[in-house]
Amino acid sequence: MQLGFSSPIHLVESNLDGTFFEKLKKDIYSLRKNDSGSNISNNLGWHSASDLFLKKEETFQKVCTTCASSVASIMKSYDSKFNPDLFDARFSGWINVNPKGGSNILHSHPNSHWSGVLYIQQPTEVDGFSGMIEFVNPNQEGRELAKILPKFGFDNIIRIRPRTGQIVIFPSYVLHSVYPNNSTEDRITIAFNSLLLKKKKT
């Protein structure tokens, strides 16, 4: 079999521990006090400025390093000869804090190769689709195959509720949204985009 058209969704472990996440949350809430936020895909939630990869705080720098290394690992899973030193990796990142009722409308991330979401605080005492991330299959004509071959990538949508500490990484062109958070606990994530440009030979 030759794989024709694929939109992979990777779910990886960040290996960041609970103590680190507690420190990270303190820095996030501190940052929010001085950042009025942006209105991008967020509805009732806070979306920070997209300059996370420029922050000097140790927690933010560690998150950015973790996200960058995760993208490199994924690239190597496709191409064993992939060498990140040969690329100018350009990252942007931001924080999403969705309180009760907070959600993110359907969107994609143009002008990037890979996008991802690190889950810092994911409420567990939820029902239904609360706080889940939903991906839309770029090939909507696959819905008929999905009826007879479910869970083989032909489905119109895929819903995931990652655990705290996990990172979801996907091609930036894939449309996605986040269901409203029905919990009284904030849903906190860090999202990022990566653009990999080959360095010019000197």
Tens digits of residue pLDDT in 42-73? 999 999 999 999 999 999 999 999 999 999 99
pTM above threshold 0.85: yes
DSSP 200: P
DSSP 131: T
For the chain, give the mean pLDDT: 92
Contact yes or no for 19/165 (Cβ under 8 A): no
Contact yes or no for 104/175 (Cβ under 8 A): no
CATH topology of domain 10-197: Jelly Rolls (2.60.120)
pLDDT digits (tens, 9 = 90+) for 83-125: 999 999 999 999 999 999 999 999 999 999 999 999 999 987 6
Q: Which residue has the tokens 């567990």?
A: 124
Contact yes or no for 37/4 (Cβ under 8 A): no
Name 7's Cβ contacts closer than 8 Å, sequence gap at least 6. 135, 137, 138, 153, 170, 171, 173, 174
Closest by CA position to 63, among listed 11, 114, 15, 104: 15
Q: Which residue has the tokens 């190597």?
A: 76
